[in-house]
């Protein structure tokens, strides 16, 4: 699920996805030039071979393409949306697609 701020004051659902979608599908749904909040249910393998699933909150803010005003608006509203989302176990901030590389995200989830 991705969320956006509408009319500079209201956080609304932007895109909903199925559990079966991949991290690549998630990245494709993110705009290149606007921040978003997201909640992902990520499945991964632990170091000892166990399957694990955790809810991860993602703050997407493409710094090189987003206005300072929008970055500040999203940064200042982040805690408000996190309080409403129950069960978050990890938090990730991504400023470019490299931060959402599959290997990078999976390593982060194992920590």
pLDDT level of residue 19 (50, 70, 90 thresholds): confident
Whole-number Å distance between alpha carbons of 72 and 97: 20
* pLDDT exceeds 90 at position 81: yes
Top-confidence residue, 91 or 19? 91
Percent of the chain surpassing pLDDT 90: 87
* pLDDT exceeds 90 at position 109: yes
Average pLDDT, integer, range 59-72:
93
* pLDDT exceeds 90 at position 24: yes
* pLDDT exceeds 90 at position 62: yes
Backbone angles phi and psi of 51, in degrees to 5: -80, 135
Mean model confidence pLDDT for the chain: 94
Reference 59, options 72, 44, 49; nearest CA is 72
> What pLDDT sits at residue 44?
92
H or E, element range at 38: strand 36-45
Q: Read off the pTM.
A: 0.92
> Domains of the chain (ranges plus CATH)?
2-110 (3.40.20.10)
81 near 11, Cβ under 8 Å? yes
Left, alpha or beta for 11 (phi > 0: left; psi -120 to 50: alpha)?
beta
In the sheet where 36-45 sits, what is the strand order? 10-15, 2-6, 36-45, 51-60, 88-94
């Amino acid at each position: 699920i991705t969320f956006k701020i509408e009319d500079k004051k209201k956080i609304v659902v932007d895109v909903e996805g199925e559990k079966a979608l991949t991290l690549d599908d998630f990245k494709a749904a993110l705009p290149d030039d606007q921040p978003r909040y997201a909640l992902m249910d990520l499945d991964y393998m632990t170091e000892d071979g166990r399957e694990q699933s955790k809810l991860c909150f993602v703050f997407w803010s493409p710094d090189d393409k987003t206005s300072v005003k929008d970055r500040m608006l999203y940064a200042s509203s982040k805690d408000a949306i996190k309080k409403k989302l129950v069960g978050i176990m990890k938090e990730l901030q991504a400023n470019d697609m490299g931060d959402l590389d599959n290997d990078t995200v999976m390593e982060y989830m194992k920590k």
